[in-house]
Amino acid sequence: MTERTKGTAVVTGASSGIGAEYAVRLARRGWDLVLVARRAGRLAALADRLREETGARVETAVADLADPQDLARVAARVAAGDVALLVNNAGINGYGPFAEVDAALLTKVLDVNVVALTVLTRAAVPHMLERGRGAVVNVAFLLAFAGSLPPGPLPQRAVYAGTKGYVVTFTRTLAAELAGTPVRVQVVCPGLTATEFHLSRGEAPVPGEARVHEEGGMPAADVVTASLAALESGEVVCVPGLPDAGVVDRLAAVERALREGSGRSVAARYRRAEDPEA
Ligand SMILES: NC(=O)c1ccc[n+]([C@@H]2O[C@H](COP(=O)([O-])OP(=O)(O)OC[C@H]3O[C@@H](n4cnc5c(N)ncnc54)[C@H](OP(=O)(O)O)[C@@H]3O)[C@@H](O)[C@H]2O)c1
Protein backbone atom coordinates (compact mmCIF):
# COMPACT_ATOMS: atom_id res chain seq x y z
CA MET A 1 0.00 0.00 0.00
CA THR A 2 1.30 3.47 -0.93
CA GLU A 3 1.80 6.11 1.76
CA ARG A 4 -1.08 8.53 1.20
CA THR A 5 0.47 11.96 0.87
CA LYS A 6 -0.62 13.51 -2.41
CA GLY A 7 -3.97 15.14 -1.55
CA THR A 8 -7.35 14.88 -3.21
CA ALA A 9 -7.94 14.49 -6.94
CA VAL A 10 -11.34 14.95 -8.57
CA VAL A 11 -11.86 12.88 -11.73
CA THR A 12 -14.97 13.47 -13.84
CA GLY A 13 -16.20 10.68 -16.10
CA ALA A 14 -14.56 8.15 -13.79
CA SER A 15 -17.11 5.39 -14.42
CA SER A 16 -15.37 4.11 -17.56
CA GLY A 17 -12.56 4.43 -20.07
CA ILE A 18 -9.89 7.09 -19.65
CA GLY A 19 -11.44 8.52 -16.46
CA ALA A 20 -11.52 5.14 -14.70
CA GLU A 21 -7.89 4.67 -15.67
CA TYR A 22 -6.92 8.08 -14.19
CA ALA A 23 -8.67 7.00 -10.98
CA VAL A 24 -6.75 3.73 -10.76
CA ARG A 25 -3.39 5.29 -11.49
CA LEU A 26 -3.85 8.24 -9.15
CA ALA A 27 -5.00 6.00 -6.29
CA ARG A 28 -1.91 3.85 -6.80
CA ARG A 29 0.24 6.99 -6.68
CA GLY A 30 -1.15 7.98 -3.29
CA TRP A 31 -4.02 10.31 -4.19
CA ASP A 32 -7.39 10.32 -2.44
CA LEU A 33 -10.21 10.61 -4.91
CA VAL A 34 -13.57 12.13 -5.70
CA LEU A 35 -15.08 10.18 -8.59
CA VAL A 36 -17.81 11.86 -10.65
CA ALA A 37 -20.21 10.35 -13.24
CA ARG A 38 -23.86 9.38 -13.73
CA ARG A 39 -23.56 5.59 -13.25
CA ALA A 40 -23.68 5.10 -9.49
CA GLY A 41 -23.07 1.34 -9.63
CA ARG A 42 -19.90 1.66 -11.69
CA LEU A 43 -18.55 4.42 -9.43
CA ALA A 44 -19.31 2.45 -6.25
CA ALA A 45 -17.62 -0.70 -7.61
CA LEU A 46 -14.50 1.24 -8.64
CA ALA A 47 -14.40 3.10 -5.32
CA ASP A 48 -14.60 -0.18 -3.34
CA ARG A 49 -11.87 -1.73 -5.45
CA LEU A 50 -9.52 1.24 -5.05
CA ARG A 51 -10.10 1.53 -1.31
CA GLU A 52 -9.23 -2.14 -0.92
CA GLU A 53 -6.28 -2.22 -3.33
CA THR A 54 -4.63 1.09 -2.42
CA GLY A 55 -6.05 2.33 0.88
CA ALA A 56 -7.21 5.51 -0.86
CA ARG A 57 -10.07 7.53 0.58
CA VAL A 58 -12.56 7.54 -2.26
CA GLU A 59 -15.76 9.60 -2.44
CA THR A 60 -18.27 9.23 -5.22
CA ALA A 61 -20.39 12.06 -6.59
CA VAL A 62 -23.19 10.74 -8.77
CA ALA A 63 -23.96 13.66 -11.05
CA ASP A 64 -25.13 14.58 -14.52
CA LEU A 65 -22.74 17.38 -15.39
CA ALA A 66 -25.24 18.75 -17.91
CA ASP A 67 -27.66 19.38 -15.04
CA PRO A 68 -27.00 22.82 -13.48
CA GLN A 69 -27.87 21.65 -9.94
CA ASP A 70 -25.64 18.59 -10.16
CA LEU A 71 -22.86 20.71 -11.63
CA ALA A 72 -23.19 23.25 -8.80
CA ARG A 73 -22.93 20.42 -6.25
CA VAL A 74 -19.77 19.06 -7.85
CA ALA A 75 -18.32 22.57 -8.19
CA ALA A 76 -18.90 23.14 -4.47
CA ARG A 77 -16.98 19.93 -3.70
CA VAL A 78 -14.15 21.00 -6.01
CA ALA A 79 -14.03 24.39 -4.29
CA ALA A 80 -13.92 22.87 -0.80
CA GLY A 81 -10.20 23.60 -0.62
CA ASP A 82 -8.52 20.18 -0.39
CA VAL A 83 -8.48 19.48 -4.13
CA ALA A 84 -4.96 19.58 -5.58
CA LEU A 85 -5.73 17.90 -8.90
CA LEU A 86 -8.79 18.22 -11.14
CA VAL A 87 -9.14 15.93 -14.14
CA ASN A 88 -11.91 17.22 -16.42
CA ASN A 89 -12.37 14.05 -18.41
CA ALA A 90 -16.15 13.57 -18.81
CA GLY A 91 -17.20 14.03 -22.41
CA ILE A 92 -19.84 13.02 -24.94
CA ASN A 93 -19.81 13.18 -28.72
CA GLY A 94 -23.31 13.89 -30.12
CA TYR A 95 -22.04 12.56 -33.47
CA GLY A 96 -24.25 12.78 -36.53
CA PRO A 97 -25.17 15.11 -39.40
CA PHE A 98 -25.34 18.64 -37.98
CA ALA A 99 -28.72 19.42 -39.55
CA GLU A 100 -30.27 16.23 -38.18
CA VAL A 101 -28.84 15.66 -34.69
CA ASP A 102 -31.31 16.53 -31.94
CA ALA A 103 -30.60 20.15 -31.00
CA ALA A 104 -31.04 19.28 -27.31
CA LEU A 105 -28.26 16.69 -27.60
CA LEU A 106 -25.93 19.29 -29.11
CA THR A 107 -26.66 21.58 -26.16
CA LYS A 108 -25.79 18.71 -23.86
CA VAL A 109 -22.47 18.21 -25.66
CA LEU A 110 -21.70 21.89 -24.98
CA ASP A 111 -22.86 21.59 -21.36
CA VAL A 112 -20.69 18.57 -20.53
CA ASN A 113 -17.64 19.25 -22.69
CA VAL A 114 -17.42 23.04 -22.31
CA VAL A 115 -19.61 24.48 -19.53
CA ALA A 116 -18.93 21.85 -16.87
CA LEU A 117 -15.19 21.78 -17.62
CA THR A 118 -14.99 25.57 -17.35
CA VAL A 119 -17.13 25.83 -14.21
CA LEU A 120 -15.12 23.13 -12.42
CA THR A 121 -11.81 24.70 -13.45
CA ARG A 122 -13.06 28.04 -12.11
CA ALA A 123 -14.06 26.31 -8.86
CA ALA A 124 -10.63 24.69 -8.49
CA VAL A 125 -8.06 27.30 -9.48
CA PRO A 126 -8.58 30.01 -6.80
CA HIS A 127 -7.97 27.50 -4.00
CA MET A 128 -4.98 26.03 -5.80
CA LEU A 129 -3.48 29.50 -6.14
CA GLU A 130 -4.20 30.22 -2.49
CA ARG A 131 -2.59 26.99 -1.34
CA GLY A 132 0.37 27.39 -3.70
CA ARG A 133 -0.15 24.02 -5.35
CA GLY A 134 -2.39 22.34 -7.87
CA ALA A 135 -3.01 21.09 -11.38
CA VAL A 136 -5.89 20.86 -13.84
CA VAL A 137 -5.92 18.29 -16.63
CA ASN A 138 -8.49 18.81 -19.39
CA VAL A 139 -9.19 15.98 -21.82
CA ALA A 140 -9.63 17.13 -25.43
CA PHE A 141 -9.22 15.03 -28.60
CA LEU A 142 -6.99 15.13 -31.68
CA LEU A 143 -10.16 15.98 -33.63
CA ALA A 144 -9.72 19.51 -32.24
CA PHE A 145 -7.06 19.89 -34.94
CA ALA A 146 -9.08 18.25 -37.75
CA GLY A 147 -11.28 21.18 -38.75
CA SER A 148 -10.15 21.06 -42.38
CA LEU A 149 -10.98 17.36 -42.78
CA PRO A 150 -14.36 16.17 -44.07
CA PRO A 151 -16.25 13.34 -42.39
CA GLY A 152 -15.64 9.79 -43.66
CA PRO A 153 -13.84 7.90 -42.31
CA LEU A 154 -13.89 10.49 -39.50
CA PRO A 155 -17.29 10.95 -37.81
CA GLN A 156 -19.73 13.79 -38.45
CA ARG A 157 -18.64 15.89 -35.54
CA ALA A 158 -18.85 19.68 -35.98
CA VAL A 159 -20.11 20.46 -32.45
CA TYR A 160 -18.00 17.81 -30.71
CA ALA A 161 -14.83 18.94 -32.49
CA GLY A 162 -15.75 22.55 -31.72
CA THR A 163 -16.00 21.75 -28.01
CA LYS A 164 -12.60 20.06 -28.06
CA GLY A 165 -11.16 23.06 -29.90
CA TYR A 166 -12.48 25.14 -27.01
CA VAL A 167 -10.81 22.82 -24.51
CA VAL A 168 -7.47 23.18 -26.31
CA THR A 169 -7.60 26.98 -26.63
CA PHE A 170 -9.06 27.51 -23.15
CA THR A 171 -6.39 25.37 -21.55
CA ARG A 172 -3.44 26.77 -23.48
CA THR A 173 -4.56 30.33 -22.82
CA LEU A 174 -5.14 29.64 -19.13
CA ALA A 175 -1.74 27.95 -18.91
CA ALA A 176 -0.17 31.11 -20.33
CA GLU A 177 -2.10 33.22 -17.82
CA LEU A 178 -1.02 31.03 -14.91
CA ALA A 179 2.62 30.74 -15.98
CA GLY A 180 4.76 31.81 -13.06
CA THR A 181 2.22 30.56 -10.52
CA PRO A 182 2.46 27.16 -8.85
CA VAL A 183 -0.67 25.92 -10.67
CA ARG A 184 -0.15 23.67 -13.70
CA VAL A 185 -2.65 23.26 -16.50
CA GLN A 186 -2.57 20.57 -19.17
CA VAL A 187 -4.69 19.64 -22.17
CA VAL A 188 -4.38 16.04 -23.28
CA CYS A 189 -5.26 15.28 -26.91
CA PRO A 190 -5.61 11.55 -27.46
CA GLY A 191 -6.47 10.08 -30.84
CA LEU A 192 -8.91 7.19 -31.07
CA THR A 193 -8.84 5.40 -27.72
CA ALA A 194 -10.17 1.95 -26.78
CA THR A 195 -13.06 2.82 -24.45
CA GLU A 196 -16.84 2.67 -24.73
CA PHE A 197 -16.99 6.21 -26.12
CA HIS A 198 -18.39 5.21 -29.52
CA LEU A 199 -21.13 3.03 -28.02
CA SER A 200 -23.23 6.11 -27.22
CA ARG A 201 -23.78 9.65 -28.46
CA GLY A 202 -24.09 10.75 -24.84
CA GLU A 203 -27.82 11.25 -24.21
CA ALA A 204 -27.75 8.53 -21.54
CA PRO A 205 -25.07 6.37 -19.93
CA VAL A 206 -24.02 3.14 -21.69
CA PRO A 207 -25.87 0.31 -19.92
CA GLY A 208 -24.36 -2.95 -18.67
CA GLU A 209 -20.83 -4.10 -17.98
CA ALA A 210 -17.70 -2.19 -18.99
CA ARG A 211 -16.69 -2.91 -22.60
CA VAL A 212 -14.80 -1.35 -25.47
CA HIS A 213 -16.14 0.05 -28.75
CA GLU A 214 -15.35 -1.84 -31.94
CA GLU A 215 -13.25 1.00 -33.36
CA GLY A 216 -10.36 0.06 -31.02
CA GLY A 217 -7.56 2.61 -30.58
CA MET A 218 -4.82 3.32 -28.04
CA PRO A 219 -5.32 1.67 -24.63
CA ALA A 220 -6.70 4.15 -22.10
CA ALA A 221 -3.78 3.22 -19.82
CA ASP A 222 -1.30 4.61 -22.37
CA VAL A 223 -3.22 7.89 -22.63
CA VAL A 224 -3.02 8.27 -18.84
CA THR A 225 0.66 7.30 -18.77
CA ALA A 226 1.39 10.09 -21.25
CA SER A 227 -0.74 12.62 -19.39
CA LEU A 228 0.83 11.93 -15.98
CA ALA A 229 4.35 12.04 -17.46
CA ALA A 230 3.52 15.33 -19.20
CA LEU A 231 2.25 16.74 -15.92
CA GLU A 232 5.60 16.00 -14.36
CA SER A 233 7.58 17.46 -17.26
CA GLY A 234 5.34 20.55 -17.46
CA GLU A 235 4.15 19.94 -21.03
CA VAL A 236 0.95 21.95 -21.56
CA VAL A 237 -0.28 20.21 -24.73
CA CYS A 238 0.08 16.45 -24.32
CA VAL A 239 -0.48 14.39 -27.48
CA PRO A 240 -0.01 10.78 -26.34
CA GLY A 241 0.60 9.29 -29.81
CA LEU A 242 2.87 12.04 -31.18
CA PRO A 243 6.58 11.07 -31.20
CA ASP A 244 7.78 14.53 -32.36
CA ALA A 245 6.75 17.00 -29.65
CA GLY A 246 8.24 19.76 -31.83
CA VAL A 247 5.06 19.68 -33.94
CA VAL A 248 3.25 21.52 -31.13
CA ASP A 249 5.93 24.25 -31.15
CA ARG A 250 5.60 24.53 -34.94
CA LEU A 251 1.83 24.86 -34.58
CA ALA A 252 2.39 27.74 -32.15
CA ALA A 253 4.78 29.33 -34.66
CA VAL A 254 2.16 29.10 -37.44
CA GLU A 255 -0.44 30.64 -35.13
CA ARG A 256 1.96 33.50 -34.37
CA ALA A 257 2.56 34.05 -38.10
CA LEU A 258 -1.18 34.13 -38.74
CA ARG A 259 -1.78 36.63 -35.97
CA GLU A 260 1.23 38.85 -36.58
CA GLY A 261 0.75 38.67 -40.37
CA SER A 262 -2.70 40.18 -40.02
CA GLY A 263 -2.57 44.00 -40.24
CA ARG A 264 -5.05 46.83 -39.64
CA SER A 265 -6.09 47.31 -43.26
CA VAL A 266 -8.16 44.82 -45.19
CA ALA A 267 -6.19 42.33 -47.26
CA ALA A 268 -6.03 42.97 -51.03
CA ARG A 269 -7.96 39.84 -52.00
CA TYR A 270 -11.03 41.11 -50.12
CA ARG A 271 -10.80 44.67 -51.41
CA ARG A 272 -10.79 43.68 -55.09
CA ALA A 273 -14.38 42.41 -55.13
CA GLU A 274 -15.67 45.80 -53.91
CA ASP A 275 -13.26 47.96 -55.93
CA PRO A 276 -12.01 46.39 -59.17
CA GLU A 277 -9.62 49.37 -59.59
CA ALA A 278 -7.70 48.52 -56.43
N1 LIG B 1 -12.41 7.20 -26.87
C2 LIG B 1 -11.84 8.02 -27.73
O3 LIG B 1 -11.59 7.68 -28.90
C4 LIG B 1 -11.40 9.38 -27.23
C5 LIG B 1 -10.31 9.99 -27.87
C6 LIG B 1 -9.89 11.23 -27.44
C7 LIG B 1 -10.53 11.87 -26.40
N8 LIG B 1 -11.60 11.28 -25.80
C9 LIG B 1 -12.22 12.00 -24.70
O10 LIG B 1 -11.89 11.29 -23.53
C11 LIG B 1 -12.84 11.58 -22.52
C12 LIG B 1 -13.27 10.27 -21.87
O13 LIG B 1 -13.90 9.49 -22.84
P14 LIG B 1 -13.69 7.91 -22.95
O15 LIG B 1 -13.08 7.62 -24.27
O16 LIG B 1 -13.05 7.38 -21.74
O17 LIG B 1 -15.22 7.47 -23.10
P18 LIG B 1 -16.23 6.78 -22.11
O19 LIG B 1 -15.73 5.45 -21.71
O20 LIG B 1 -17.54 6.88 -22.80
O21 LIG B 1 -16.20 7.71 -20.83
C22 LIG B 1 -16.93 8.93 -20.75
C23 LIG B 1 -17.11 9.26 -19.29
O24 LIG B 1 -17.82 10.50 -19.20
C25 LIG B 1 -18.91 10.33 -18.30
N26 LIG B 1 -20.03 11.19 -18.66
C27 LIG B 1 -20.65 11.27 -19.86
N28 LIG B 1 -21.68 12.13 -19.79
C29 LIG B 1 -21.71 12.61 -18.52
C30 LIG B 1 -22.56 13.50 -17.85
N31 LIG B 1 -23.59 14.10 -18.45
N32 LIG B 1 -22.31 13.76 -16.55
C33 LIG B 1 -21.28 13.14 -15.91
N34 LIG B 1 -20.43 12.28 -16.51
C35 LIG B 1 -20.66 12.01 -17.80
C36 LIG B 1 -19.30 8.86 -18.45
O37 LIG B 1 -19.93 8.38 -17.27
P38 LIG B 1 -21.53 8.14 -17.10
O39 LIG B 1 -22.03 7.65 -18.42
O40 LIG B 1 -21.57 7.13 -16.01
O41 LIG B 1 -22.06 9.47 -16.71
C42 LIG B 1 -17.93 8.21 -18.57
O43 LIG B 1 -17.39 7.98 -17.30
C44 LIG B 1 -13.97 12.35 -23.20
O45 LIG B 1 -13.85 13.72 -22.90
C46 LIG B 1 -13.72 12.10 -24.68
O47 LIG B 1 -14.20 13.19 -25.46
C48 LIG B 1 -12.03 10.04 -26.19
Task: Give the pTM.
Answer: 0.96
Residue 49 lies in a domain: yes
Residue 220 lies in a domain: yes
- Closest C-alpha to ligand 1, atom 47: 91
Number of structural domains found in the chain: 1
Catalytic residues: 160
Tens of pLDDT along the chain (278 residues) come to 455 678 999 999 999 999 999 999 999 999 999 999 999 999 999 999 999 999 999 999 999 999 999 999 999 999 999 999 999 999 999 999 999 999 999 999 999 999 999 999 999 999 999 999 999 999 999 999 999 999 988 989 999 999 999 999 999 999 999 999 999 999 999 999 999 999 999 999 999 888 888 888 999 999 999 999 999 999 999 999 999 999 999 999 999 999 999 999 999 999 876 666 65
Residue 267 lies in a domain: no
Residue 262 lies in a domain: no
Cα of 226 from ligand 1 centre, angstroms = 18
- Closest C-alpha to ligand 1, atom 42: 13
Which whole-number Å values give the CA distances from 140 to 102, 130, 228, in the listed order? 23, 27, 15
Residue 269 lies in a domain: no
Confidence at residue 1, expressed as pLDDT on a 0 to 100 scale: 45
Residue 82 lies in a domain: yes
Residue 65 belongs to what domain range?
7-243
List pocket residues of ligand 1, CB cut-off 6 Å: 12-19, 37-39, 42, 63-66, 89-92, 112, 139, 141, 190, 192-193, 195-197, 202, 205, 217
- Closest C-alpha to ligand 1, atom 20: 197
Cα of 14 from ligand 1 centre, angstroms = 8
- CATH code, domain with 165: 3.40.50.720
Cα of 92 from ligand 1 centre, angstroms = 6
Residue 218 lies in a domain: yes
